[in-house]
């Protein structure tokens, strides 16, 4: 069952189209990554899902129900340019925001103490927000977003501004929240985090969705039948000697080991590749090269941007 | 509703707890009380009698009189001896009037050692000398005694009394009360309105609003902020009134009420004498001056302060509410404080206009200008406060109040429409045309 669905969302501003017929489906209890280059329309989509702006065409469904103001309360939202009242004390501020989300004072207090303890922020309770580092402010913002245990969590660029330690802390929390039943939608440029976290992704480029699906399936569909092989004690090089069912994409070697990337052609199997390689020496490794999300992102965005291609072509010419 | 209360509470507490608020709240009444009490001490300090030695070579000025603070000691030596003996004499100054050339005694010099004689002293001496010399001239040239001229002088003061209650009101006191109340409203609308605007800009630029509007309606946030800050304003005024009254009361209990009023009167007289020295020429004029000041203090009791203070709170509250909504709308339309300028003009113009109009309104508090500008809700809070001490027909007051409330509702309705759209919009320069479009959404 899909928790969140956007149907044919189109949003126009005076001079440009911010979103063009974008539909995504976010399955329940999954982590959904919204990817795309800068200015693609990710934040616009997130703002529409939060009912901060209104689409010109299309609708947003939550649990199959058309989104309205009261349903938005079930969403926890962390905006990209996050802010807090700078002059207010950390604890007071977290309490205030939690109470606005509908928590009672004592509930809010109990939960905040738990989270502050977890993020090692208890000592900062009575400090003013402006005295905190950016990373700490973001942790507080994160706490406030998840505190009322919303079913759907939306994070706009949750990792920007975090050091690696805190980024992995947040990653762990996101995974834990998913395991506890929450559905998470986040936008990012950070492809490593996509690999680690996302079950599903959608790629938006120039206001249009150009790719959506399960991460494992997307990667599978983008693999190119290329294998990384390592042969020790090789007697000759692969290039020009391997039979024509296989194409040597790249080859490097030192005195002992030969490494190469080989593409299997003509529907041959991996076993046939291994057979073909055996005469060359001791096979140490044969591993299929699965494209990273980073590769897919770049390939997809570039192929979707003929303008950019033509520029780079012109440059090479 | 519960969430609006939470917002009001935050807006209120976060401001009341600020150091600047506490300082202003304590400093305000201290200044006010100081205005009432300090003159008493100054007058007390002034009671030290100054003895001035007079060395008169002309022989005309042998009776310069004396008053509470100035005494004259006439000596009969030459200037050099007088200067040489000055330190021993313990006098505070030496007045030297040299022999006139061609009977023009325009010159007189005051020598002093440590403290320069104040304006009060010099103007007192000038007036006396003028009087004596004028008198001499009148007798010698025209054979008229100046006293006779003084006797012929008449002084007419018009007192205004309420025909029904017989209360005496003086234009001066009435004007002071009205202008003071009007100015306080003008000032506080700007001050608290600006606080609303800055609060809105803070929430917008830091995107706090995007988190908050997922749990409350933008209108609740707007309402919470405006009401919270209104309560801050009311708290401040209440504390000012209570603190000022208690300081003055404590002072009166320890020193005695009449004493204070009396010294204030003398202080007043002295000040006006310095400002208008011609008044001291004649005894009758001085008497009427005193009478006037006395009646100012008497007439203070004649004002209906309950009405004035009650209307002050009403006009402050609704005037503020009306303008605060507009200030909030401006705050929501811009991305930073620098951009507010272009939209501030339409708001500041009626406020400043109301204040400029104070002059013609005081001159004719029941005239058409006074009437119409105290009905128009954008100017009525200030203009009405200026008029109230002069007495305003009850019906007019009710009409003005009613229209102000309606104006507040209309402004808030319009402002909420702009606010709703503007607060979530960013990265866009907003023009008046854009605002107009938002109004029609």
The label of the residue with tokens 């956007």 reads A6
Chain pair A-B, CB pairs under 8 angstroms: 56
* Residue of chain A with shortest Cα separation from B5: A100
Nearest to A5 by CA among A56, A54, A48: A48
Average pLDDT for residues A58-81, to the nearest whole number? 85
pLDDT bucket at B389, cuts 50 / 70 / 90: confident
Give me the pLDDT at residue B338, please. 83
Looking at residue A142, its pLDDT comes to 92
Mean pLDDT of A14-41: 89
pLDDT of B322 over the 90 cut: yes
Question: Crossing angle of helices A134-146/A90-100, nearest 10°?
Answer: 30
Q: CA dist A29 to A79, A191, A272, Å?
A: 21, 21, 41
- Residue B349: per-residue pLDDT: 92
Report residue A102 CA to chain centroid gap. Answer: 30
Q: What is the 3-state secondary structure (H, E, C) of chain A?
A: CEEEEEEEEEEECCCCEEEEEEEEEEECCCEEEEECCCCCCHHHHHHHHCCCCCCCEEEEEECCEECCHHHHCCEEEECCCCCCCCCCEHHHHHHHHHHHCCCCHHHHHHHHHHHHHHCCCHHHCCCEHHHCCHHHHHHHHHHHHHCCCCCEEEEECCCCCCCHHHHHHHHHHHHHHHHCCCEEEEEECCHHHHHHHCCEEEEEECCEEEEEEEHHHHHHHCCCCEEEEEEECCCCCCCCCCCCCEEEEEEEECCCEEEEEEEECCCCCHHHHHHHHHHHCEEEEEEECCCCHHHHHHHHHHHCCHHHHHHHHHHHC
List the domain range (segments joined by +) for residue B112: 49-152
What's the CA gap between A118 and B439, in Å, rounded?
47
Residue B13 and residue B80 in one domain: no
The predicted pLDDT at position B315 comes to 94
pLDDT of residue B279: 43
- For A129, residues 6+ apart whose C-beta sits below 8 A from its C-beta are A84, A85, A86, A87, A88, A89, A90, A93, A137, A140
In the block, which residue shows the tokens 């559905």?
Answer: A183
Q: Considering B118, B152, B186, which residue would you say is the last residue of a domain?
A: B152
Residues B187 and B129 in one domain: no
B424 in contact with chain A, both atoms CB, cutoff 8 A: yes
For residue range A109-137, list pLDDT tens digits in order: 999 999 999 998 999 999 999 898 888 88
pLDDT for the residue B135:
84
Ranked by mean pLDDT, the top range of A15-19, A277-281, B167-171, B395-399 is: B395-399
Are B7 and A75 an interchain contact pair (Cβ–Cβ within 8 Å)? no
Distance CA A94, CA B211 (A): 12
Query: Can you give the CATH number for the domain in which B90 is found?
Result: 3.40.190.10
Share of chain A above pLDDT 70, in %: 96
Confidence of residue A87 (pLDDT cuts 50, 70, 90): confident
Please name every residue paired with A263 in a beta bridge, in sequence order, or none if there are none.
Answer: A226, A247
Tokens, residue A52? 């901060």
Res. B286 pLDDT band, cuts 50 70 90: very low
* More confident call, A269 vs B303: A269
**B102 and B26 within one domain:** no
pLDDT at position A233? 81
Q: How far apart are CA A263 and CA A224, in angstroms?
A: 7
Task: Verify that B122 and B266 share a domain, yes or no.
Answer: no
pLDDT for residue B79 is more than 50: yes
Q: CA–CA distance from B423 to each of B203, B205, B438 (Å)?
A: 8, 9, 12
CB proximity under 8 Å: B 7-26 to A: 7, 10, 14
**Whether pLDDT at B127 is above 70:** yes
**Where does B301-393 have alpha helices with state H?**
305-333, 341-356, 358-363, 368-373, 380-387
Is residue A311 over pLDDT 60?
no
Predicted confidence at residue A34, as pLDDT, reads: 92
Q: Quick check: is B164 in a domain?
A: no
- B138 and B274 share a domain? no
**Are residues B414 and B282 located together in one domain of the fold?**
yes
User: Counting beta carbons within 10 angstroms of the beta carbon of residue A273, is it exposed (0 to 12), middle (13 to 18) or buried (19 or more)?
Assistant: buried
The region of weakest confidence among A269-273, B152-156, B221-225, B272-276 is B272-276
> Is the per-residue pLDDT at A65 higher than 50?
yes
Count Cβ atoms within 10 A of the Cβ of residue A171 and give its class: 0-12 exposed, 13-18 middle, 19 or more buried.
middle
User: Is residue B404 over pLDDT 90?
Assistant: yes
Question: Is residue B9 in some structural domain?
Answer: yes
- Domain presence at residue B161: no
This model's pTM is above 0.80: no
Give the pLDDT band of residue B398 (cuts 50, 70, 90): very high
Residue A156 has pLDDT above 80, yes or no: yes
B295 falls in which pLDDT band (50, 70, 90)? low
Task: Name the domain count of chain B.
Answer: 2
Higher-pLDDT residue of B170 and B434 is B434
Q: Given this model, what pLDDT does residue B274 score?
A: 45
Q: Using CA atoms, how far apart are residues B42 and A276, in angstroms rounded to an integer?
A: 113
Asked if residue B117 and residue B60 are part of one domain, the reply reads yes
Residues 28-87 of A with CB under 8 A from B: 47, 50-53, 69, 72-73, 75, 77, 79-87
Report pLDDT digits (tens) over A181-233: 999 999 988 888 888 899 999 999 888 998 899 988 888 888 888 899 898 88
**Whether residue B195 is found in the same domain as residue B139:** no
A160 touches chain B (CB under 8 A): no
Write down the ipTM of this complex. 0.77
Q: Give the integer Cα–Cα distance in Å for A77 and A155.
A: 6
B246/B344 same-domain check: yes
Contact of B120 with B42, CB cutoff 8 Å: no
Between helix B394-422 and helix B305-333 the angle, nearest 10°, is 20
**Whose structure tokens read 């901060």?**
A52
Choose from B91-95, B259-263, B437-441 the range with maximum mean pLDDT.
B91-95
Taking the Cβ of residue B83 and every Cβ of chain A, the question of whether any pair is shorter than 8 Å is answered with no
Residue B176 belongs to some domain of the structure? yes
Residues B82-110 have a mean pLDDT of 73
pLDDT confidence of A248, banded at 50, 70, 90?
confident
Q: What is the mean pLDDT of residues B78-99?
A: 78
pLDDT score, position B296: 56
Residues of B in contact with A77 (CB under 8 A): 210-211, 214
Mean pLDDT taken over chain B: 80
pLDDT one-digit tens code per residue, B26-49: 888 888 778 777 777 776 665 667
- Residues B222 and B262 both lie in one domain: yes
- With 70 as the cut, is the pLDDT of residue B142 above it? yes
Query: Which of B152, B185, B213 delimits the end of a domain?
Result: B152
Residues A198, A201, A205, A207: what is their CA dihedral angle, to the nearest 10 degrees? -120
pLDDT above 50: residue B285: no
Residue A142: CB atoms within 10 Å: 24
| Residues 6 or more apart in contact with residue B25 via CB below 8 angstroms | B235, B236, B239, B240, B243
Last residue in a domain, options B109, B125, B152:
B152
Residue B44 belongs to a domain: no
B390 domain residue, yes or no: yes
Structural domain contains residue B207: yes
- Residue in chain B lying closest to A83 (CA): B206
Whether residue B250 is found in the same domain as residue B382: yes
- Output B40 or A45, whichever has higher pLDDT: A45
Any CB–CB contact under 8 A between B207 and chain A? yes
For residue B43, tell me if it sits in a domain. no
Residue with tokens 């041959």: A268
DSSP string, B171-223: HHHHHHHHHHHHHHHHHHHHHHHHHHHHHHHHHHHTTHHHHHTTTS-HHHHHH
| Of residues B14, B211, B215, nearest to A79 (C-beta) | B211
Closest CA to B230 of B378, B8, B3, B410: B8
Cα–Cα distance for residue pair A189/A38, rounded to 1 Å: 8
Q: How far is CA A302 from the centre of its chain?
A: 18
Minimum distance, in Å, between the CA of residue A52 and any CA atom of chain B? 7
Tell me, yes or no, whether B69 and B34 share the same domain: no
Residue of B312, B284, B3, B56 whose CA lies nearest to B182: B312
Task: Work out the pLDDT band at B165, boundaries 50, 70, 90.
Answer: low
**What domains does chain A contain, in order, with CATH numbers?**
2-220 (3.40.50.300), 224-288 (3.30.70)
The arithmetic mean of pLDDT across residues A52-72, rounded, is 86
**Residue B31, token pair as written in the block:** 């200044």
pLDDT of the residue at B106: 62
- Judge whether B205 is closer than 8 Å to chain A, CB to CB: yes
pLDDT tens, residue by residue, A273-310: 888 888 888 888 888 888 888 888 888 888 876 655 44
Pick from A84, A83, A89: nearest CA to A127: A89
Distance from CA of A247 to the nearest CA of B (A): 52
């Amino acid at each position: 069952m899909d928790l969140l669905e956007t149907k044919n969302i189109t949003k126009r501003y005076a001079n440009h189209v911010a979103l063009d017929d974008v539909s995504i489906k976010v399955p329940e209890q999954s982590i959904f990554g919204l990817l795309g280059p800068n200015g693609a329309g990710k934040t616009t989509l997130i703002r529409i899902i939060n009912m901060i702006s209104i689409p010109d065409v299309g609708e947003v469904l939550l649990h199959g129900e058309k989104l309205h103001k009261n349903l938005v309360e079930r969403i926890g939202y962390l905006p990209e340019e996050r802010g807090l009242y700078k002059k207010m004390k950390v604890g007071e501020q977290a309490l205030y925001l939690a109470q606005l989300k509908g928590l009672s004072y004592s509930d809010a207090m109990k939960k905040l103490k738990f989270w502050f303890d977890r993020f090692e922020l208890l000592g900062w309770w009575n400090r003013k927000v402006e005295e905190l580092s950016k990373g700490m402010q973001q942790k507080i913002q994160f706490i406030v977003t998840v505190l009322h245990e919303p079913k759907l969590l939306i994070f706009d660029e949750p990792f920007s501004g975090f050091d690696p330690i805190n980024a992995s802390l947040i990653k762990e929390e996101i995974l834990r929240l998913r395991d506890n039943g929450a559905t998470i939608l986040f936008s990012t440029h950070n492809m490593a985090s996509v690999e680690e976290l996302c079950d599903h992704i959608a790629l938006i480029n120039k206001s249009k969705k150009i790719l959506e699906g399960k991460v494992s399936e997307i990667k599978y569909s983008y693999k190119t039948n290329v294998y990384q092989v390592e042969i020790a004690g090789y007697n000759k090089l692969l290039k020009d000697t391997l039979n024509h069912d296989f194409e040597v994409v790249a080859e490097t070697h030192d005195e002992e080991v030969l490494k190469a990337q080989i593409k299997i052609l003509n529907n041959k199997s991996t076993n046939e590749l291994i057979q073909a390689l055996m005469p060359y020496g001791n096979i140490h490794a044969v591993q299929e090269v699965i494209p990273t999300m980073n590769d897919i992102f770049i390939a997809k965005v570039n192929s979707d941007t003929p303008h950019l291609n033509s520029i780079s072509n012109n440059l090479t010419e | 509703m519960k969430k609006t209360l939470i917002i009001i509470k935050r807006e209120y507490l976060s401001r009341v707890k600020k150091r600047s608020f506490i300082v202003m709240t304590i400093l305000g009444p201290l200044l006010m009380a100081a205005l009432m009490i300090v003159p008493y001490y100054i007058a007390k300090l002034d009671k030290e009698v100054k003895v001035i030695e007079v060395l008169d070579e002309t022989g005309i000025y042998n009776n310069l009189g004396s008053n509470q603070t100035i005494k004259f000691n006439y000596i009969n030596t030459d200037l050099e001896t007088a200067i040489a003996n000055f330190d021993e004499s313990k006098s505070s100054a030496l007045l030297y009037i040299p022999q006139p050339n061609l009977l023009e005694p325009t010159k007189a010099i005051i020598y002093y050692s440590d403290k320069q004689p104040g304006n009060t002293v010099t103007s007192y001496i000038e007036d006396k000398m003028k009087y004596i010399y004028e008198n001499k001239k009148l007798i010698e040239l025209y054979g008229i005694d100046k006293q006779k001229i003084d006797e012929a002088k008449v002084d007419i003061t018009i007192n205004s009394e309420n025909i029904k209650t017989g209360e005496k009101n003086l234009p001066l006191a009435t004007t002071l009360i009205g202008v003071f109340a009007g100015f306080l409203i003008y000032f506080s609308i700007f001050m608290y309105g600006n606080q609303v605007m800055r609060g809105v800009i803070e929430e917008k630029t830091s995107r706090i609003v995007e988190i908050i509007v997922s749990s409350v309606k933008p209108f609740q946030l707007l309402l919470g902020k405006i009401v919270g800050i209104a309560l801050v304003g009311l708290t401040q005024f209440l504390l000012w009134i209570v603190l000022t009254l208690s300081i003055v009361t404590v002072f009166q209990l320890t020193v005695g009420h009449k004493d204070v009023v009396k010294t204030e009167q003398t202080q007043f007289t002295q000040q006006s004498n310095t400002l208008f020295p011609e008044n001291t020429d004649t005894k009758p004029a001085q008497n009427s001056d005193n009478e006037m000041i006395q009646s100012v203090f008497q007439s203070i009791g004649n004002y209906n302060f309950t009405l004035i203070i009650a209307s002050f709170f009403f006009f402050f509250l609704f005037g503020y509410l009306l303008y605060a909504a507009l200030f909030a709308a401006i705050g929501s339309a811009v991305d930073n404080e620098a951009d507010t300028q272009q939209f501030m003009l339409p708001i500041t113009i009626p406020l400043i206009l109301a204040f400029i109009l104070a002059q013609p309104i005081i001159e004719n508090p029941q005239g058409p200008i006074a009437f119409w500008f105290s009905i128009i809700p954008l100017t009525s809070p200030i203009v009405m406060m200026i008029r109230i001490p002069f007495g305003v027909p009850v019906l007019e007051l009710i009409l003005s109040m009613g229209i102000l409330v309606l104006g507040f509702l209309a402004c808030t309705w319009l402002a909420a429409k702009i606010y709703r759209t503007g607060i979530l919009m960013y990265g866009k320069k907003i023009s008046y045309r854009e605002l107009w479009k938002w109004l029609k959404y």
